[in-house]
Amino acid sequence: KDDFTADSRDPDRFRYELIKVRSLQRISIVSSVSKKAEDIRRAPATINVISKEEIVQRGYTDLIEVLADLPGFDISILYGVNYANAYQRGLRTTTMEKTLLLIDGVEENDLWTNTADISRQYPITNIKRVEVVYGPASTLYGPNAFVGVINVITKEPEDLIKEGKSIGLHVNVGIGSFNSRYADASFAYKKNSFSAIFTARHYESDRHDMSSQKFFDYDPSVYDGVNYRTILSVKTNAQTYTTANNLPASHPYYTMYKTGATTDSIIPTQAGIDAARSLDKSAYNRSVNGLKVGYANPTTLSLVKGKVNVGDFSIDMQYMFKREGAGPLYTDLGQAINNVYWIPVRSSISVRYEKKLSNTLLFSSLSNYRMHGIDNDTRVTSIYNYSRANLGIRDLIKDSTPGYNTTYFFQNNKQFRSEIKLLYTPTQNLYVIGGVEYRNSQLQGNYLNTTNILTPEENGIANAGTILGGNQYNLNDLGIYAQANYHFAKYFGVTGGLRMDKNTIRQNGGFGTEFSPRLVVDFATTNWIFKAIYSRGIENVSNFTKFGVASGRIPNPTLKTESIKNYEFSISRKLGKYITADIDFYQSLIDDVVGVKTLSPTSSQNQNLGRFQIFGIQSNITYSRNNVSVTANYTYTDPKQTTDDTGKENADLLVADIANFHVNLIANYRVFKKMNINVRGNYIGIKHAGVGTSVPANPETTFPAHTIANATIGYEIIKGATLQFVCNNVFDTFYFHPAGRAADGINTPSSLLQPGRNFFIKLNYEF
C-alpha cells in the first residue's frame, strides 16, 4: 500500500515479515499531512503520533485523555452539550469547531455546528494510531482544518489476525469509579481477497458529583439576595398593564401610584416581595418528568463500526448514539440540571477504491454519506418564576406557583461527499498529489423545537428569523487542490500546495471562492531536521453560527470565512541511538473571527469582528531503550485578542482559559515481559478569565496552576490477557476547569469541578 503496510491480498508470510521489519525501524510513517504516506521527519507540518501500544500501556479510556498528554492543547471538561473542548494552539472557541476530526480520513465534525464532538464513544481496541497535525491544513482538507487535524487511524483486519489464523479478536472491558463501566470489542476475519473487521463500544457512567458547587446545589437561600422590588415593579405603561390584567386598585401585594385616574407605576409591597420569594423557593421541591428537581449528570454512549475489504474496494459503516446529561452547561437558577439531555445520533457509510495504475501513478476515490442529527428526546428543562420575570404582579395576586417547562429539540442534517485524487511519484525525490472534492449538504437553519411535547420532529417549529426560503438549506462545495514535494541538493526539500474552495448556499449565498496555500522548505541530514512552514487556513462558519436563532439573535447569512495565517519554524535532533528532541516556534494571525454584535437591548447578530495574534512554542523529547521509555513535552502559549468581539481594535486582551505553560511527562517501564508500569504527569499553568480577557463576563479571574498524576499497572495473567489497574489523579488534586460559553456565573457556570482520585480496573484480551 501507499503507507507501506501490507495489503489484505498479500501472502500471509509477506504480511507478517513486513510487520516485523516495520516494528524494528526507527522512522515513523504518517499519512495525515499530505494525504499520502511519508516520513514524519520531512512531512510538511508539525505532527505528533500516538501508537496503539502507547494507548494500551497508558490506560487511556477515551480520546480526550490522549490529547491531554500532547503539547498544544488546553483541555476544558465541560459535561455540557459537548463533553469537552480541547483548544488547540491557544484559540479558545465556544466548541471544538476549529479542529478537524477524521476517522481514517473521513470527517467526523458535526455537520450543523462543525464541532469535533469528542466524548468517550470511540473504541480503544480499534485504534491503530492517532496522528495530530498542528497548524492550518486547509491546503488539502479545505475549510475547517483551521488550527489542526486529528486523524484517528483504525485497525485493518490484518492488525488483529495473528500469523496462521483467519480470525482475530480484541476485547477491552472496564469498571471504575462513579459507577463507570464499558465494553469495547473488535473482531476480524480474512480469507483470500476478502477481509472484514467489526467493532462495538458501549460506555456508561454517572460521572462525578458536582452538586457541591453553588451553581448546582439548589440552595433556596440564593433567592434571599434577589431584588424582587426592582424585578416586579411596573414603571412603564403601567396603566396598560393594569387594564390588560384587570388589576384591582389595591392589593396587599402591591401599591398603585396614580396621577388622577391614570396608573403611573405599580410597586410590590413587602408582603408581595415575601410571597414571590417564598413561591420561587418552593419550585426547588417540584418534580419534572417524574424526577425531583436536582443534580444528576449521567452518560450513555454506543458506537458500532464495520469495515469490509474486497480487492481494491472497501466499505466502511459507522453508527453512534450518545445520550449525555448536559445540565452543567447551565446553573440551578435557570434549569433543572437532571432534566437536561443532549442526544446526538450520527451515521455514515463510506466507499473507497484504490488502484495502482502504474509504478508511478496511484488513483484513489472516497465517497461517503453522513446523517447527523439529534434525537426527539433531546431536552432542556427551564424554570419560569418571579426572579427571572417570567411571572409578574398579575400572577402574584393569584399566588401562581413557579414551575418548569421542557423544550424538546430535533435536528436532521445530511451530506454526500466525493473525492478523487491522483498521486504521481516519478522519482524517489518527487511527488505530486492532486484531487477534486465535491459536497452537497442538506442542513437545517435552526432547531425544530416544542414545549412540553415530546415529538419536535412532528410538531416542532423553527424560528427562522428574517430569512426567507424556510428552515432547510442546500449547500454545494467544490474543492480543487494540488501539492508537490521535491528533494534536491541531497539535504534540501521544498513542498508547495494550493487549494481553491467554492461554497454556495442555495443560489446566491455562501462565502464564494477562497484560496489556501502552503509552502514548506526543509533541510534534513541523518541527525538534524529543519523546517520553515507557511500555511493559510479558512473556517467556513457553521449553519448554527449563521442561522441559529436564540435570545434575540438575528441570522446572518452573509458571514465570511474566518482566516488564519501561520508561520512556523521547527528543529529536530537525534541525540544518539536512544534520544530524539524537537522544538517548534509558531506565530498565528487570525482575522474575521465571528463575535456577537449587540444591535439593541433586545437583539444581536453574529458578525466577523475579532482578530487574534498567537505566539507559541512546542517541544518534545523522547528516550527509549530496552524496557524503558520516557516522553516529555512542553508548551508555551502567548495568545492575544487584538480586536474584540465588539470590533474594538487594539484591545490587547488575553485569550481566556489558555495556560501560558504546560509540561507533560510520561514514563513507561516493562518488567519481566509480563508487567508494565506507566506513570503520567501533567503540569498546567495559570489560566486567566474575566475582565481583560476574551471572556470578560467570567467572575473568576484566575484558575491556579496544578499538577495531575496518573498511573497504570498492567500484568499479563495469561497469554494475550492483561489485567490493568488505573488510578487517575493519584494525589487527589482539587482543581477546576474554566466553563464554556459566556461563563458568567449566573446563567452558565464560571468553573467546573473536576474529578478527584478515581480508579478503573480493565481487562484487555487479544486472540
Distance of CA 255 to the CA centre of its chain: 53
Let me know: does 377 contact 341? Beta carbons within 8 Å: yes
Which ranges of 518-653 does DSSP label H, i.e. alpha helix?
543-547
pLDDT at 179: 98
**pLDDT 10s digits, 332-363:** 999 999 999 999 999 999 999 999 999 999 99
**pLDDT 10s digits, 579-631:** 999 999 999 999 999 988 888 888 889 999 999 999 999 999 999 999 999 99
- In a 13 Å sphere around the CA of 483, the CA atoms on its Cβ side amount to 23
Q: Give the integer Cα–Cα distance in Å for 696 and 689.
A: 7
Q: Give the integer Cα–Cα distance in Å for 355 and 342.
A: 42
Residue 434's pLDDT band, with cuts at 50, 70 and 90, is very high
pLDDT at 1: 56
Is the pLDDT assigned to residue 672 strictly greater than 90?
no
Let me know: does 244 contact 361? Beta carbons within 8 Å: no
Q: Which amino acid is at 198?
A: F
Q: Give the integer Cα–Cα distance in Å for 688 and 685.
A: 10
Which cell numbers hold the place of 284?
426547588
More confident residue, 208 or 550: 208
Distance of CA 37 to the CA centre of its chain: 26
Q: What is the 3-state secondary structure (H, E, C) of 191-251?
A: ECCEEEEEEEEEEEECCCCCCCCCCCCCCHHHHHHCCHHHHHCECCCHHHHHHHCCCCCCE
pLDDT at 548: 84
Is the pLDDT assigned to residue 389 strictly greater than 90?
yes
The CATH H-level (homologous superfamily) assignment of domain 12-214+294-766 is: TonB-dependent receptor, beta-barrel domain (2.40.170.20)
What residue ranges do the domains of the chain occupy? 12-214+294-766
Mean pLDDT of the region 271-299: 97
Query: Taking Cα atoms as reference points, which of 132, 110, 135 lies closest to residue 370?
Result: 110
Is the pLDDT assigned to residue 23 strictly greater than 80?
no
Q: Is 512 left (phi over 0), alpha (psi -120 to 50) or beta?
A: left
pLDDT at 3: 53
Q: Which residue has the cell 469509579?
A: 177
pLDDT at 13: 62
Q: Which one-letter DSSP state was computed for residue 338?
A: G
pLDDT at 8: 54
Distance of CA 162 to the CA centre of its chain: 35
Which cell numbers hold the place of 391?
411571572
Q: Which residue has the cell 487556513?
A: 537
Q: Give the integer Cα–Cα distance in Å for 541 and 539.
A: 6
Mean pLDDT of the region 194-201: 98
Is the pLDDT assigned to residue 100 strictly greater than 90?
yes
Length of the chain: 767
pLDDT at 470: 87
pLDDT at 557: 87
Q: Give the integer Cα–Cα distance in Å for 420 and 425.
A: 17
